[in-house]
A and B are shown apart, each in its own frame.
Chain A
Amino acid sequence: MDINFTKEDIAFRDEVRDWLNNGGYPKHVKEKTDKGITISKQDQIDFHKALAEKGWMGYNWPKEHGGTGWSATQLYIFNKEFGLAGCPPLLAFGVSMVAPVIWTFGNDEQKAKYLPDILNFNTWWCQGYSEPGSGSDLASLKTKAVLENDHYIVNGSKTWTTLAQHADWIFCLVRTDNSGIKQEGISFLLIDMNTPGIEVKPIITIDGEHEVNSVFFTDVKVPVENLIGEEGKGWTYAKFLLAHERFGIASVGASMRQLNKLKKIVSELDNPELDKKIHELEVSLSALEITELRLLSALENGGHPGAESSILKIKGTEMQQNISQLYVEAAGEYAIMYPGPHGYLSNDKPAGPDYAANSLSAFLNLRKTSIYGGSNEIQKNIISKFVLGV
């Protein structure tokens, strides 16, 4: 056993660090994220385009589709270093969600049409999964697609659609058949967001931010060639996609960065209770990190870590939430003040620590992490069913 990375892995880590620190990571984006300022659509595009230019956009793609072909360990290092550098989370919808579905189940025309644009971040994708009546029970979804000649006519609505307001395309699970069990009769459709009949309405979250949306479809005409794979097989593709969504879910790097910053803040407060809570989180974070490495190591040795990866979702999101909670405690009395996601105007800033507003913002925003991507309750069901076998 050896807990250290190989020389090659260390060299790779240094290459990633070098890119992040020496001009690869766009400066104007870094300045904003370091200050906790919400980044714009253009900032997101600049960040992802820079990554594409370096050839790293396909970080979890095989080489044959233009990806990096990195090992699981390299992928882990890449993700951790980006988190440690405070980068905004990479937008997963195109590159690591729909793309693997397209290259695995799509036809050659679809691969040629969509994959290069994803790899160059020319298209912004969003995910049309959840519906008002279908959250944890996704397979009960009702958005209907009826084939008429060479088009599907789509009617229904999707919800919690992240950044749909910026998206060019949405990949949707739609119901094409009602006759069998609910998992059957679901199909996987790619829909151009500019198609007439699509309406995007913002959902404002408790941090005051506009990140998620409702998307309504009224008689939306979708060409039949936008169907991925076979009609009625969408649920299989969705499950396949979920396996790819696990990438980086533990957010170890980002949590380390946040915790290190917090330690500096708290070291000046003379607050032993808070010190103790931070030490407890440090231990938990170490446990989380090594757990992820163990799963990684099993994977590199030909294993197939399955439901155990739900541990990473549960503990990773709890860790993010707990760290944000301690920032709020560190803000003390100033935790009652919150200007909204865009902060105070510079000449209008009240007394109190600079981190107070961002702390509140993060604390409120991160509540979602234990709800989305399969709520933590669902993750525990998965572990009990597939790991414990009960």
Chain B
Amino acid sequence: MNLNYSEEQVMLREQIQKFCESEYDFYTREKIVKSSDDFDSNVWKLFAEQGWLSMPFSEENGGLGFGAVELAVLFEEFGKALVIEPYLATVVLSGTLLDKSNYSKKNDLIEKICSGDMHISLAYAEANKNYDYLNSDTTLDNNILNGTKTLVLNGGNSDKVIVTCIKDKKLTLVIIDSNTKGVSINSFKTIDDQSCAEISFENVEIDNDAIIACDLEAIELINESINLATLCVSAEAVGCMESCYLKTVEYTKGREQFGQPISNFQVLQHRMVDMFVESELAKSLLFKAMLEVDSNSEDKYKHVSALKSQIGRSGKLSAQDAVQLHGGMGVSEEMMIGHYLKKMVSIDALFGNSDYHLKKFAS
């Protein structure tokens, strides 16, 4: 047994930390958020130069061949810095799906993702389907696509969209250019300063070579992609939880009331200890989940659900406590701490909330 990060993994974490400290402090992030763009394309270029956009792709497809552990390291650090660039949408949800598929044109697409020249979104969700992503009312009949997708992460900025639909009663994955005739995209801000879109397809003509996968293969690709994305956002939550307790400890040590730092008060100390303990427990479930995913075990879905269920509750509570212990500063937009709470709300809502994953874990 060895539950320690390898030297390479430690170096990767340090590289990402250094980047976030020097190029992505909260002030810089605020500037990006308040700009007219949904993210900073220069930052995205830097991600490409660092090789991060190539991380999870297999080496034969031009990637670095990294696994879930490395992705989790990246997302933990992204969580701490509250990175808003659409890594999850383009690289994890769409990129890893293509990487694992037998789609004939995937190499060119992955190359463009790695170089930072292309964004692809995965349109997996529809209204009122309650996290059942294999259930779709979008249809593909005689190569004509009709339907509406919702909550498409980064959908407003993508060059291409991978769409789940039903063809001959079977789940099918097609990829189309966002500017194809009959595609209309309406983009919205998310609570954590990212964006997602509602995309409707009205009699959109699809080429034969736009079909990525059908039936069981399509189901497996979607399940794997969503599971990996669920792991990634959970790792992001773990990063947020660590930052929440560290920043709260720092704040309470510096904040003086009644002639002393408020960190002297035992009631606050115990709250912060709880936040620390919850952060460690979440990290433990993350270890289990990422190792199960990397070994491609049968239980990989179950353990990702255990993790997601736990962080949905404890992550939100930690962020709420962090806000509470920061007092008024906690609810003010110019402090970073309140933004962790928004991130935790968003993470809990994505890919099935705490209750949903607890049920999935038990079944």
Q: Interface on A for B, CB 8 Å cutoff?
A: 130, 133-137, 140, 159-160, 203-206, 208, 212, 271, 273-274, 328-329, 331-340, 344, 348, 350-352, 360, 363-364, 367-368, 370-372, 375-377, 380
A203 to B328, CA, bound (A): 10
**Known interface pairs A333-B131, A336-B196. Does A206 touch B151 (Cβ–Cβ under 8 Å)?**
no
Whether the pair B127, A203 counts as a contact (CB closer than 8 A) is: no
Residue contact B355 to A274, C-beta cutoff 8 Å:
yes
| Complex interface: chain A residues within 8 A of B256 (CB) | 133
Contacting B349 at CB < 8 Å: which of A271, A335, A364, A368?
A335
Taking the nearest CB of chain B, how far is it from the CB of A100, in angstroms?
A: 25
Apart from the given pairs A205-B332, A336-B191, 8 other A-B contacts in the complex at a CB distance below 8 Å: A203-B333, A336-B196, A363-B345, A364-B338, A364-B341, A367-B320, A372-B328, A377-B268
Confirm or deny: B184 has a beta carbon within 8 angstroms of a beta carbon on chain A. Answer: no
**Residue among A135, A329, A380 making CB contact with B353, cutoff 8 Å:** A329
Which residues from chain B contact A340 at a C-beta distance below 8 Å? Answer: 189
CB <8 Å contact, A136 and B257:
yes
Once the chains bind, are A329 and B333 in contact (CB under 8 Å)? no
Which residues of B sit under 8 angstroms from A206, Cβ to Cβ?
Answer: 331-333, 338-339, 341-342
Q: Which residues of B lie under 8 Å from residue A380 when comparing CB positions?
A: 267
- State how many angstroms separate the Cβ of B262 from the closest Cβ of chain A: 8
User: Across the interface, which residues of B come within 8 angstroms of A368, CB to CB?
Assistant: 328, 331
Given A135-B257, A135-B328, A204-B332, verify A329-B355 contact (CB < 8 Å): yes
**A355 vs chain B, min Cβ distance (A):** 14
Which single residue of chain A is at the shortest CB-CB distance from B323? A367
Contact B186 A334 (CB under 8 A): no
How many Cβ-Cβ contacts under 8 Å join chain A to chain B? 127
Chain B CB within 10 Å, residue with most, of A273, A336, A337: A336
Number of B residues contacting the other chain (C-beta, 8 Å)? 46
Measured between alpha carbons, how far is A273 from B130 in the docked complex, in Å?
A: 14
C-alpha gap A331/B353 in the complex (Å) = 11
User: Is B82 in contact with chain A by the CB < 8 A criterion?
Assistant: no
A332 near B339: Cβ-Cβ < 8 Å: no
Alpha-carbon distance between A159 and B328 when the two chains are bound, in angstroms? 9
| Interface contact B345-A332, CB-CB below 8 Å | no
Q: Which residues of A contact B164 (CB under 8 A)?
A: none
Known: A328-B345, A336-B346, A339-B188. A204 touches B328 (CB 8 A): no
